[in-house]
Amino acid sequence: MSDENTTNAIDDKKTENETGTSEPPPDWSSFFIVVGRTVITTLLYYLISGCIVLYLSKVAFAGVIPSNPEFYPFTDVKNENKAHSTVVDANVVRGGKWFGLDTLLFNANNKTFSTKINFNTTTADKDCSNYIVTFLRDSPTDPKKAKIFVEFFSKVFFGTAALNNTVITYIFSFLYSWFAESLIILIAPILLGLLFTVSYLFNFIIFIYFYIVNVGSVFKEIVIDGNKVKYESLNFEQPFGFFWAGINFILWMILFWVGIFFYPPFMMVYSFITPLFIKGTNVTNSAKEKPIGFGEFCQNVLWYKGQFLLFLVSIGLLSPAQKYLGTTGFQAAILGLIFCIFILHFYNQLYNPEEDPNLSVLNANSNSNSNKGVTPNESQSGGKNKKRNKQTKKQKE
C-alpha cells in the first residue's frame, strides 16, 4: 500500500513540475475535435436561422406576403387596388472606426449604407403560386378535376394559409422596424423555436375552426354545364341525395382525425418556408438592377455579418478551452479572442463601404426614420429600423 501511495505522489509531482499546477496535461486532440464541432454547429445554428428570420423580416415589412383568401394567388381574382412595391434596406453598414463606437462616443458624422431590395406584390403572388396553391385554386373550376373534397380542402387550406401569412407579416415586420440585424441573428434560433411551438398550437386550433365552418361544402353535388362547374345543394328529399350526404359526412369525419395530426405540423413548416421563395430586385444601382432571392441574400449575410458570426464562434471556443486546456489554455484563449477583435478592427478600417457596388447611402427619410440608434459597427451587425414613411410602404408599382 505504501509503495502505491509513493508512486501516485511521484506522478502527481511530475505533473505539477511539467505544468506548474496540479491540473492534468492539456488534451489537445479532444479540444480540436470539440472546436471543429463548435465552429460548424455555431455557424449553421446562427447563419441558417438568422438568414431565415432576416429574410422573412424584409419580405414581411414590404407587405407582399399574400394574406387575403379572396384574391390571387388563392383565387383567380386579382386585387389591383392593393398592388404595390416597397424598397427595404438590407446589409445595413455604418462607416467609422472601432466598429462604429466613434459615432456613439464622439458624435462622429458617419454615413450609413445599405443594399436596397424592391419587393412587389405581382412577383410575390407568382412566387407563392406553388403546386399546392395552383392545384387547389384551379381544380374546383376544372370540369375534369372538380371534386367535392377538393373544393372543401381548398377553402380550409387557403383560410389557414392566409391567416398564417397575416400573423407572420405582423411579427416579422415588427422585427424589421425595431431590431438591429445583428440582434435578429442573435435571437433567431430561440425565436424560431418559440414561433414553431406557438405555430403548431395556432394551426391546430384554426384547422379545427376552418374545418368545421366549411362543412357545408361537403353537402353539395357537382353540376357541369359545358366548361363551367357549379356546386349545388343536395336534395335530401331524394334517397340518393340523403345517401350521398351520409357518405360525405363519414368521409369528412375520418379525414378530420387524419388531418388533425398531420395538417398543423405541415402548415407550420409551409407558412415559414413559402415566403422564402419570394424574390426581389436589387435596386441599389439603378443601372445594374438584378433579381435577388433567398440564396443570394444568405451569401450577403455571410459577407456583411461575417465579423459578427466570427465573434459568436470565438465566444463558443472559450468553454472547450477551459475544459480541455486548463487554466493556462483558457487564459490563452481569452488573449486570442482579444487579438482577433483587434484584427477585425483593422479589417473594418480597411473596408470602405463607399466603394462597395452592392451598397448605397441611405436616403434622408431612411436615416431619420429607419436608423436611429444603430448598434455599434452596423458594417457587420445590422441596423435598427423604425417605422418607415407610410408613403414608401404603399408606393404603387
Q: Which residue has the higher pLDDT, 232 or 101?
A: 232
Q: What is the pLDDT of residues 179-223, one digit of tens each?
A: 888 889 989 999 999 999 999 999 999 999 999 999 988 888 888
pLDDT value of residue 343: 60
Query: Does 378 score more than 80 pLDDT?
Result: no
Among 63-72, 202-211, 374-383, the minimum mean pLDDT is found in: 374-383
pLDDT value of residue 372: 34
Which contiguous run of DSSP H or E holds residue 391? helix 390-393
pLDDT value of residue 338: 66
Crossing angle of helices 131-138 and 148-178, rounded to 10°: 140
pLDDT value of residue 351: 61
Q: Which residue has the higher pLDDT, 1 or 93?
A: 93
Q: According to the 3-state scheme, what is the secondary structure of 250-306? A: HHHHHHHHHHHHHHHHHHHHHHHHHHHHCCEEECCCHHHCEEECHHHHHHHHHHHCH
Query: Does 52 score more than 80 pLDDT?
Result: yes
Among 17-21, 177-181, 385-389, the minimum mean pLDDT is found in: 385-389
Query: Does 357 score more than 60 pLDDT?
Result: yes
Q: What is the pLDDT of residues 248-287, one digit of tens each?
A: 889 999 999 999 999 999 999 999 999 999 999 999 888 8
Q: Report d(CA 20, CA 317) in Å as an integer.
A: 24
Q: Report d(CA 78, CA 48) in Å as an integer.
A: 34
Query: Does 396 score more than 60 pLDDT?
Result: no
- Summarize the confidence of residues 4-16 as an average pLDDT: 50
pLDDT value of residue 387: 41
Q: What is the DSSP letter of 215?
A: G
pLDDT value of residue 57: 95
pLDDT value of residue 110: 67
Please give the single-letter amino acid code of residue 202: F
pLDDT value of residue 266: 96
pLDDT value of residue 345: 54
pLDDT value of residue 310: 75
Q: Report d(CA 119, CA 278) in Å as an integer.
A: 8
Instruction: Give the total residue count for the chain.
Output: 397
The percentage of the chain sitting over the pLDDT mark of 70, rounded to a whole number, equals 67
**Residue 397's pLDDT band (cuts 50, 70, 90):** very low
Q: Is the pTM of this model over 0.85?
A: no
pLDDT value of residue 339: 62
- Summarize the confidence of residues 379-384 as an average pLDDT: 36
- Residue-averaged pLDDT of the chain: 77
Query: Does 119 score more than 70 pLDDT?
Result: yes
Residue 145 CB contacts under 8 Å (≥ 6 apart), including other chains: 138, 139
pLDDT value of residue 112: 80
Query: Does 366 score more than 60 pLDDT?
Result: no
DSSP per-residue string spanning 120-167: EHHHHHHHT--HHHHHHHHGGG-TTT--HHHHHHHHHHHHHHHHHHHH
Q: What is the pLDDT of residues 344-355, one digit of tens each?
A: 655 555 466 777
Query: Does 235 score more than 90 pLDDT?
Result: no
Query: Does 3 score more than 60 pLDDT?
Result: no
Q: Which residue has the higher pLDDT, 381 or 127?
A: 127
For residue 291, what are the β-bridge partners?
281
pLDDT value of residue 17: 45
pLDDT value of residue 46: 87
